[in-house]
Structures are given as structure tokens and as C-alpha cells.
Chains A and B, each alone.
Chain A
Amino acid sequence: MGFFKVKLNGKSVKVRLKKGMSILDVMRQLGVNRETHLAKKNGRLVSELEEVSGKDRVEIFGVVYGG
């Protein structure tokens, strides 16, 4: 199904698009731990079970760093 771009900590990265994929699937593809990251879809904070399509603007950002 091709690729689409998401933002990971402000940087644009490519993700392989699959039908019915969720934010959690995106996180897994990127090797991101859901315990340490949150996600926004089209500017709105969302559950990582939310589905995404190639048209969505997805941002994943780290929030657990320590210190």
C-alpha cells in the first residue's frame, strides 16, 4: 500500500502503510515504546488504538525522558 510520512519528535519519517493500521502499529514500525511516547492525529491528542490513513497528519513525540 506504499508509504506515508509521520513526524517523530519533530522529524519527518516514512512508515509503511497498511489497511486499518493504528497509531500503535506506527509506533511499533518506528521502534518507539508506547510507555514513553504520545501521539497526535490531525493536531488532536489520541488513543494509540486510533486508526490512521495515509491522509492523516500523525505526530509521535517522546514525553518520558527522566532527569
Chain B
Amino acid sequence: MAVSCSKCSGDAVVYLPYGNENLCKKHFVDSFEKRVRRTAREFRMIGKGDRVGVAVSGGKDSVSMLYLLKDICDSMRVELVALSVDEGIEGYREGTLKVAKENCRKLGVEHRILSFKREIGITVDEIAKKKDRMRTCSYCGVFRRWILNKTAREMGLTKLAVGHNLDDAAQTVLMNFLRNEPFRLARFGPSGGIIEHEFFVDRIKPLIRIPERESAVYSIIRGMNIKFGRCPYAHEAFRNEVRVFLNEVEEGFPGTKFRVFNSFMSVRDVLREKFSSNETPIKCKECGELSSNEVCMRCKMLRDLRGEKGKCL
């Protein structure tokens, strides 16, 4: 016999251990959407007059976020554009970009695909072949953020929505503790940016209270045709170690990820006060984007990859 929904007599499609609840399709979708809307409202993520860019990789989180933001933006008459980045990861990214494209078409959302090769001059596969380098994900993250911020600003977007979920958030909090980098933690959060500056487009994270597993359930129920695959370089990242650890703890102690995130939120203001920087960001002398140093991280990394000291692309 099927397990019944905790809210009605329908068949449950998911069990949420942290709330000891079984939910049917309807009640799960209602709960998921309500939580995302509440987060967006609580942190004032979108307002009248905004122009919102959604970073859509084609994975379950970003596509689920796209569906929700489309609804929210339509109801507020706010413009929405989808941005995807092709990092050049053969056998992985082509498939997810196809999903991003199909879902944008289905929803009638303008979609722009940017690429590492065009914007940076090197793909992730090419980076991975280099010797004496950092972990691939370090370059990928810096380059992707650089492309997205630059493009969003050039397009006149006021917000950039990223599909960071609760798992990502709990991992980020723990990683910053494990690395003893509280100043980074002070800049982390559901909305806003690393800094306040006209060159920096505010990032918003509407899924920050959604466990990753639940965005998978939502994407299946809503028929988004997501391929559940893994980036071939993900295993290299320190984040992966933290992910495995957190999932093991969560299984034994449901609600751990929420507690990690909530603990951070309760001390966030204190962290911000203690580690706030009075430095005014400057423009990188090589690419002209914002930087805390003369040369930004993107340009430093490119120099490093090319074995150069003073030149950039």
C-alpha cells in the first residue's frame, strides 16, 4: 500500500525527514513554491523596476529557479532574462545547455549563452590539461562569476539570480570555518553582493532554503527533463569532501543543513560588522572589472595559466 500524504489522502512522492512529513505531488509543489516565494520576499530579492538575470546551467536547481522566478517576475511585471555559461566541458555541458535552452523556450524567456572560450579565451577542459595548476573548480568559479557579472551589468540587469540551494549554503558555511576564512563568510548571504558598487550586480539566491534533493523532486514533478549528472571535475573540489560529510551527518541527524545555515544567519550581522572592509574597490588595470587589488583574480589566474608574469589576454 502506498504511503499517504501527511496533509491529504493522496499518495506521497517524497518523505522530508527533517519535518517527518510525507507529501503528495500537490502539497510538495505548494510547499516548495511557498518557501521560495517567502525567501524572495524576506530578503527583498526582487522589486519593481528591477531587470533580473537568471543564471541557468540546465541543472535541477537553476531550471527550478527559472520556473519560479518567471512566475514571480510576471506577477510583478519585472523583466527576466536567462544567462547560461558554456565552460567547455565535453560530454557534460552540451546536455545541460540543451535542457536550459528547451526550458527557456517552453517558458518564453529570452536566453543568452556565453562561453569561456569567447569571453576568457580558454575552456575548462583546456585548463584541466595544464600542469602546476590549482583545482579546476577554482578557475571555473572565478571565470564564471566574472563573465556573469560583466554580462549582466552590460545588459543593464539589476539582479543576478543564482541557483544556490541549502546544501550549497551549508557547505559554504562549513568550508569557510574549515579554512579559517571568516571574512569570506561575512560577505556570504541570501542576497546582495560581495560589495556594493555600481559595477557589481547584486546576486540573489531564492533557493537558499531548499535542500538540493527537493529541487530534484520539483524538477521531476514539473517535467523539466533534467539529466542528473555530475560535472567530471566536481570530485577535485574541497567542496565535494564537505558535501559528502554533510550528507552523512544529515542522514543520521535530519535538519543539520538547516541548522548550519540558520546558525550562520544568526551571527551574520556580527561577522559583517567585524570583518567589513573600508577599502574602496578599484578597477583591474588589465580587464577594467572590479578588483580589490591592482590586478583582479581572473587576470592573475590567466597569467598563471599562460605561464606569464605581466601580460593578460
Contacts and interface: CB of A to CB of B under 8 A. Distances in A.
B88 to A, nearest CB: 14
A6 interface: no
A61 interface: yes
A1 interface: no
B3 A47 contact: yes
A38 B230 contact: no
Contact of A36 (B231, B234, B247): B247
A66 B234 contact: yes
A66 B228 contact: no
Interface in A16-41: 33-36, 38
Contact of B213 (A44, A46, A51, A64): A64
Nearest to B60: A63
Chain B's interface size range is 20 to 34
B15 interface: yes
Contacts of B231: 65-67
A50 B3 contact: yes
A51 B22 CA distance: 14
Contacts of A63: 60, 212-213, 216, 228
Contacts of A35: 211, 213, 247, 250-251
A38 B217 CA distance: 8
A49 B239 contact: no
Contacts of A36: 213, 247
Given A35-B251, A51-B1, A61 B22 contact: no
A66 B237 contact: yes
Contacts of A38: 14, 213, 216-217, 220
A53 B296 CA distance: 59
A44 B239 CA distance: 32
B2 A50 contact: yes
B275 interface: no
Nearest to B17: A34
B11 interface: yes
29 contacts: A33-B247, A35-B251, A36-B213, A38-B14, A38-B216, A44-B11, A45-B13, A45-B217, A45-B221, A46-B13, A48-B15, A49-B12, A49-B22, A50-B3, A62-B228, A63-B60, A63-B228, A65-B228, A65-B229, A66-B230, A66-B231, A66-B234, A66-B237, A66-B243, A67-B137, A67-B230, A67-B231, A67-B233, A67-B237
> Which 3 interchain pairs have the tightest Cβ spacing?
A67-B231, A67-B234, A65-B230
Given A38-B217, A47-B3, 12 more contacts: A33-B251, A35-B250, A36-B247, A44-B11, A45-B14, A46-B12, A46-B13, A62-B228, A63-B228, A64-B247, A66-B239, A67-B230
